[in-house]
Structure 1
Amino acid sequence: MADTLKRPADTYSPLYFLASLGAGGIAVTFFMFLMFWVPHPDRPVPVFEDISAAFTKGGAALQAGIVIAVLGIALFAVLNIKSLLWNLSSYATFKRTQAYKTLRNSNAESTLLAMPLALAMSVNALFIVGLVFVPGLWSVVEYLFPMALVAFGAIAWIAFRLIGDFLGRVLSKGGVFDVTAHNSFAQLLPAFAVSMIAVGFSAPAAMSTTPATVTVALLLSTVLGVVAILYTLLAAATAVGSMLQHGTAREAGPTLMIVVPIVTVLGIMALRQNHGLHTTFGVHGGDGETMIFLARLLSIQIAFLGLGAVVLQAQGYFKDFVIGSRTSPGSYALVCPAVAFSVMMHFFINKGLVAAGAIAKFGLAYWSLSAVAIAAQIVAILLVWRLGRQHFARRADAVAVPAE
């Protein structure tokens, strides 16, 4: 009997790469605890030695925070890689089916960009794992940065090849792109993928002390970041008209909040670039300017979180696809905004308010605002748990609904 039961995930969609993406993003939210609560005065990020010293010398509260962070990173990094490997295997099988050929000739071809998006997140997650768990990693990190640039370069090649195939098909001749089905922000997925690669390229700009490495990282991340912004603006502008005319596609409703993670990764890219410009090229920026910059990004996120929540509530999306029995692989797009908002809140609190002197670190206001970030993190964790049960548990009646 068990062999006859099916999982919704058995009806494969490239959007299941978002399951890997979400797990990797949650690992990043746990790293925020270490990033901003563990002292690391000699490095831009905490490493194994910093974490060990803080655990040895810190109080019970800090020790508890470190334990939670380390366990969270380990758990969700494993889930990230496990999901990525499953997706790569399923995707290889999917490419041999008629469904894949049909997808390649529809608006949903852009969902293929979920693959390089997830790959880029996994590289970022593995780097975090190295920082947290590998002693002495920082002593060889300058050798790792060129390798990271090559890895992100390979992922960028995959992404731009897929984007080129899609845009070449829909822009070279008329009538092949269904404008009536463009009634969501699903076409922003390529921009999300490019922005994730851009933030990966920017990491050596903030952490390397080799001018050549910093320069290459700055330039490559700038190119991809600008491309991501242009793609976001154009895809969003054309989608709004279709949504106003036809309403938002129900299965693709969560994409209304895809701007939230795009803003977070591009915002982190900008912070990394600013740090590299400061440490390597002597360019100085004010903490107050950073606070306002992050406040503006946070405002954009709040606006799109509100928009998405209003539309999804009006459509009954949560009742059917999250709490209810219906399934759609596009539901995994709900995890990304929660993760991204949590990460942005941590940066706004620490790199914005605390750095500018607006609030005291570890004071009442600090923990009140940090509670908002942690609440968003918990939402993301609960979504991953719930969606995992929905899509990967064997059931006799569930069929995944593809999202365009």
Structure 2
Amino acid sequence: MAATQTRPADSYSPIYFLASLGAGGITVTFFMFLMFWVPHPAAPVPVFEDIAAAWSSGSLPMQAGIAIAVVGIAYFAFLNIKSLIWNLNAYAAFKRTPAYETLRNSNAESTLLAMPLAMAMTVNALFIVGLVFVPKLWSIVEYLFPMAMVAFALIGWIAFRLIGEFLGRVLSKGGLFDVTAHNSFAQLTPAFAIAMVAVGFSAPAAMSTAPATVAVSLIASTVLGVIAILYTILAATTAVTSMLHYGTAREAGPTLMIIVPIVTVLGIMFIRQDHGLHTTFDAHGNAGETMVFLARLLSIQVAFLGLGAVVLKAQGYFNDFVIGSKTSPGSYALVCPFVAFSVMMQFFINKGLVAADVVTKFGTAYWVVTAIAIASQLVAVWLVLRLNRQHFSKSAAVAVPAE
């Protein structure tokens, strides 16, 4: 008998793309510090020059916030890209195995959409890295927007091709979709992928000054956003019916909270679109409307966070797959809800409460509610570090029969 060391991630699943996605999402949570704490009068987002000016003239708390944000962005962007590269290599090898063909002929075929989902997040993370670390990037940003939309279009093509193959297979004739295995929200992964591409397309609407670029951004993101909403409603409705009948699939339990990141991504898309309509096409909203809109989105998120927590606690999921010794790639689906809730809270606080003069920026009430966002962010950070250690560390020596 020969002995070798293995790690859970050696048994590859496309769900591991969520490891890259989670790290990229945490990059966004650290950018929120800069977005809402660093003055950026010349641009809709903070850039290298704004950050440098705030560092040189800011107070010690401002410098501490900037330092934490910059280090967090650098580390988790690196982790995001590293994980994406590992996944792409592992996925290429996985496609040459019988397990891949088995997956392509099961309900789990939809998990392949985790790949374009993670790729779209990486594009967003790279844009953040450019804003924070590249001097004078804003001077050429109008040239970058079309390039970014081309990248998102290519990722969208990959996503729709995979969705088309899946739906073409299961809807062309009956009996190819296992309803008994539809007892989770795993089938919402395609909707999440489309929504992530949509929010990427919406960025130029909020930041570009070229009317043609803004118009393309608005239209493309609207089309993708509406498709994501329709897909979410249909997939979630049918999944609830299956869950009520068969119970929630235990290892897919975290997907019950996938609605939370979908809501955040689409919410940011709507905010970006609203900004583009205001600055380019003279369509006006007001801070009160934005505050109520964001409150409605938060209400949906709180509902599904509560639903997920109740079911996962009843199943003992955390004790087994997070704190305990068992591993499941689906555990990475826990990261996104906490990331998404943190980001949405930051928007609600700053674009809603502060903009509507409900709370004073940097006042006591401001930090009380901001603490909720930071707490959710810290949970996401802990989950990524914990799960990476569980899934990508070598396990104890396992006996393997000698040839």
TM-score class, shorter: over 0.9
Is 1:381–2:385 an aligned residue pair? no
Number of the residue aligned with 2:25: 25
Number of the residue aligned with 1:271: 271
Number of the residue aligned with 1:401: none
Which residue type is aligned with residue 150 of structure 1?
A: V
Equivalenced residues, count: 398
Number of the residue aligned with 1:402: none
Number of the residue aligned with 2:350: 350
The structural deviation recorded for 1:397 is 7.5
Number of the residue aligned with 1:196: 196
Number of the residue aligned with 2:105: 105
Number of the residue aligned with 2:65: 65
> How many angstroms apart in 2 are the aligned matches of 1:291 and 1:64?
29
- Give runs of aligned pairs for residues 68-83 of structure 1, distance below 5 A: 68-83=68-83
The structural deviation recorded for 1:396 is 3.5
State whether residues 3 and 397 of structure 2, in contact with CA within 8 Å, keep that contact through their aligned partners in structure 1: no
How many percent identity over aligned positions? Answer: 78
Number of the residue aligned with 1:162: 162
The structural deviation recorded for 1:42 is 1.5
- Give runs of aligned pairs for residues 5-404 of structure 1, distance below 5 A: 5-396=5-396
> How many angstroms apart in 2 are the aligned matches of 1:129 and 1:34?
12
Cα displacement string for residues 229-277 of structure 1 (whole angstroms, at most 9, x for unaligned residues): 0000000000001000000000000000000000000000000000000
Which residue type is aligned with residue 277 of structure 1?
A: L
Q: Secondary structure at the match of 2:250?
A: coil
Cα displacement string for residues 87-107 of structure 1 (whole angstroms, at most 9, x for unaligned residues): 000000000000000000000
The structural deviation recorded for 1:340 is 0.2
In the TM superposition, structure 1's runs of 4+ consecutive aligned residues that sit over 3 Å from their partners are none
> How many angstroms apart in 1 are the aligned matches of 2:256 and 2:18?
15
The structural deviation recorded for 1:113 is 0.1
Cα displacement string for residues 126-147 of structure 1 (whole angstroms, at most 9, x for unaligned residues): 0000000000000000000000
State whether residues 199 and 265 of structure 2, in contact with CA within 8 Å, keep that contact through their aligned partners in structure 1: yes
The structural deviation recorded for 1:2 is 11
The structural deviation recorded for 1:41 is 1.2
Cα displacement string for residues 174-222 of structure 1 (whole angstroms, at most 9, x for unaligned residues): 0000001000000000000000000000000000000000000000000
Structure 2 gaps of 5+ residues are 399-403
Which residue type is aligned with residue 325 of structure 2?
A: S
Cα displacement string for residues 42-90 of structure 1 (whole angstroms, at most 9, x for unaligned residues): 2100000000000000000000000000000000000000000000000
State whether residues 4 and 397 of structure 2, in contact with CA within 8 Å, keep that contact through their aligned partners in structure 1: no
> How many angstroms apart in 1 are the aligned matches of 2:283 and 2:115?
36
Cα displacement string for residues 265-293 of structure 1 (whole angstroms, at most 9, x for unaligned residues): 00000000000000000000011000000
> How many angstroms apart in 2 are the aligned matches of 1:54 and 1:332?
35
Structure 1 gaps of 5+ residues are 399-404
Q: How large is the RMSD of aligned CA atoms in angstroms?
A: 1.1
Which residue type is aligned with residue 270 of structure 2?
A: A
> How many angstroms apart in 1 are the aligned matches of 2:357 and 2:366?
12
TM-score by length of 1: 0.98
